[in-house]
Amino acid sequence: MVLKRWLVGDPLKSTQAPHERLSKTLALAIFSSNAISSVAYATEEILLVLVLAGTAAIAWSIPISFAILFLVVVLTISYRQIIYEYPEGGGAYIVSRNNLGELPALIAAAALMIDYVLTVAVSVAAGIAALTSAVPSLFAHRETLGLAASVFIIVMNLRGVRESGKFFAVPTYFAIGALGVMVLVGSIQTLFGQGVSLSPDHQMAVEELTLFLILRSFAAGCSAVTGMEVISNGVKAFRRPESQNASTTMIHMSLVLAALFMGISFLAYHYGILPKTDETVVSQLARLTFGTGALYYALQVGTMLLLVLAANSAFAGFPHLASILARDGYMPRQMATFGDRLVFSNGIIILGIFACVLLLLFHGDTHALIPLYAVGVFISFTFAQAGMVRRWLIKKGPHWRKQLLVNGVGAVTTGIATIIIASTKFTHGAWIVFLLILVLVMMFRSIHSHYKAVSEQVALTRDHRPPLPRRNIVIVPINGVNQAVIRAVDYARSRAGEIRAVMVDVDPESTARIQIQWAQWGCGVNLIALPSPYRSVMGSLLDYIEEILEKEPDIWVTVVIPEILPAHWWQSILHNQRALLLKTALLFKERVILTDVPFHLKR
């Protein structure tokens, strides 16, 4: 408990929840870090595919970047409409649930949850790649560094939204500023012919430049728009007026994203930069722009921080989405409960665990994780836009045709992008995402079916009547006479009903001795010795209780279990676990009530 308080902080009162909401400045750092950070690897992913067709194919990176820029514009306008229409948050899931039905909503939710896990894994892996580009000796330790970074972000998010936002805001804005300076200085150098371009003819083609290869490159670059939905999922985290502040933050995020992404793509093309296994494109750009001095290392540190902290936006989106699903009965109800620091602690921990598992499975390699990325988020994009189209067709209202046009273009655009991404990445790992979506949807429905069955079974109907009083038989299992047993008998005497102490006769001499002691200490409670030819204590007790239940179908049986609890956890190994086994065996028996009476040892 002391360690938890030191790591997470003291609990916050429920009345402090309004004060934990975010200003636009903090919200931009928390919600936008995922989308903005993708500029550090989106251009590189485009180049990684195009370079297969040789250096000359790199020229296609510019039109592909403009196509992705068009997506950014469409998604910004579309999601601003969602923010105003659904101020309670929930994004694609809520839009799909209200307009398209259960199955599309669950598919959108599953796709988003997978994308959030991948966001953490990809962001951390890319951040560590930026670090190892500057310090190559750390390359062999990238998995360990990634896990350490993930644990740190988990702990910071458990401390609360506002506190984590304050902590992460400075490095996030520093990184955005550093990348902005690089783009600005690089652009000025290009404008005045001061930059030094690399030789454009040192990469041989291994594939033919085809439409499919260009589409693959576009699909890889679409990682630049991942994270654009996070703000719409967490509108309730903003200060009032929530929708207006969220919408403004969305515009600021998109402007920064567009400027940095297009700037990096343009500079990479101008300098003739090609992707390397041991150095990122941004690192190469920084060396050409700043040299290898302090500014270069400052930018690398800033990029690393931005990429690692980009995982923070997933920690803002995943728990909130999980809480909405839990309230709708599609996730365990614990996911909807606030922790000590007014955050959804269970969601944060689960997200962190899955992300760490991914980092280990893919050895912290960004390029191995990227093929799985963007598929899920574009599925959710498409469902969100399609849902809004249906909403405008039904609701109409002022300016509905203009809004319908915006979301219609968004649905068509993201739908085409989804098909391109799915088809070009399917054999490279995207099939895993589709399989996981299927598994998650089945899980959601199974959980919902369970909660629905529970609700139906525990509900009171018109046929129910208040129950008549029942007789209660209280059974105290014993294996000797001691303070723990007498304490349990003392408690049993406070309960209404017939009390019976029960022991199993496995040794006649021991039984006779216990009967003599019971005559003095048994408080007048009847002692029953059960025969056990095969020395089965548990079997004899369970048979006796079952016999009572069969003979008297209208009674309650209360089993009062005396249990000795050692002072130290390791001492439990020295005691048999008969009480635990008995509780486990009786827990699912109808009309049997279990009461544990602990006796605490002092040393």
Q: Which of 152-161, 299-308, 349-358, 359-368 holds the top average pLDDT?
A: 349-358
Span between the terminal Cα atoms of the chain, in Å: 22
Q: Which of 20-24, 416-420, 429-433, 439-443 holds the top average pLDDT?
A: 439-443
pLDDT above 90 covers what percent of the chain? Answer: 30
More confident residue, 90 or 242: 242
Q: Which of 20-24, 363-367, 528-532, 569-573 holds the top average pLDDT?
A: 528-532
What gap in Å lies between CA 391 and CA 125, rounded to an integer? 39
What gap in Å lies between CA 279 and CA 135, rounded to an integer? 10
pLDDT in tens, 491-502: 999 887 899 999
What gap in Å lies between CA 403 and CA 389, rounded to an integer? 8
The CATH number for 2-451, chosen from 3.30.1330.10, 1.20.1740.10, 2.60.120.380, 3.40.50.300, is 1.20.1740.10
Altogether, the residues listed in the chain come to a count of: 603
Paired strand residues for 599: 564
pLDDT at site 162: 65
What φ, ψ does residue 112 adopt, rounded to 5°?
-65, -40
More confident residue, 196 or 359: 359
C-alpha distance from residue 66 to each of 222, 262, 270, 382 (Å): 11, 8, 16, 20
Supply the pTM of this predicted model: 0.78
What gap in Å lies between CA 518 and CA 516, rounded to an integer? 5
More confident residue, 4 or 405: 405
Q: What is the mean pLDDT of residues 360-379?
A: 80
* Burial of 535 (C-beta count, 10 Å sphere; 0-12/13-18/19+): exposed
pLDDT in tens, 27-64: 888 788 878 888 888 898 899 889 888 887 888 999 99
Q: Which two tokens stand for residue 127?
A: 């951040």
pLDDT at site 560: 94
User: Quick one: which of 201, 170, 241, 261 has its CA closest to 51?
Assistant: 201
- DSSP assignment of 413-428, as one string? HHHHHHHHHHHHHGGG
Q: What is the mean pLDDT of residues 437-464?
A: 89
What φ, ψ does residue 22 adopt, rounded to 5°?
-100, 140
pLDDT at site 399: 83
Residue 366 identity: T
What gap in Å lies between CA 448 and CA 331, rounded to an integer? 8
pLDDT at site 196: 53
Is the pLDDT at 475 greater than 90? The verdict is yes
List Cβ neighbours of 344 (8 Å cut-off, separation of 6 or more). Answer: 319, 320, 322, 323, 335, 336, 337, 338
pLDDT in tens, 206-260: 677 888 888 888 888 888 888 788 888 778 778 888 889 999 999 999 999 999 9
What gap in Å lies between CA 293 and CA 362, rounded to an integer? 33
pLDDT at site 4: 54
pLDDT in tens, 255-292: 999 999 999 999 998 888 888 877 888 888 998 888 88
Is the pLDDT at 201 greater than 50? The verdict is no
Q: What is the mean pLDDT of residues 101-117?
A: 92
- Paired sense of beta strands 592-600 and 556-565, if any: parallel
pLDDT at site 547: 92
- Assign domain 472-600 to its CATH architecture: 3-Layer(aba) Sandwich (3.40)
C-alpha distance from residue 101 to each of 92, 95, 106, 318, 326 (Å): 12, 9, 9, 21, 17
List Cβ neighbours of 346 (8 Å cut-off, separation of 6 or more). Answer: 319, 322, 334, 335, 337, 339
Q: Which two tokens stand for residue 336?
A: 């909807």
What φ, ψ does residue 503 adopt, rounded to 5°?
-130, 160
Q: Which two tokens stand for residue 455?
A: 């609700």
What gap in Å lies between CA 162 and CA 568, rounded to an integer? 39
pLDDT in tens, 547-579: 999 998 889 999 999 988 888 877 777 776 777
User: Quick one: which of 373, 438, 468, 349 has its CA closest to 106?
Assistant: 438
What φ, ψ does residue 342 adopt, rounded to 5°?
60, 35
What gap in Å lies between CA 107 and CA 537, rounded to an integer? 52
| Domain positions in the chain | 2-451, 472-600
More confident residue, 156 or 8: 156
Share the mean pLDDT of the chain. 85
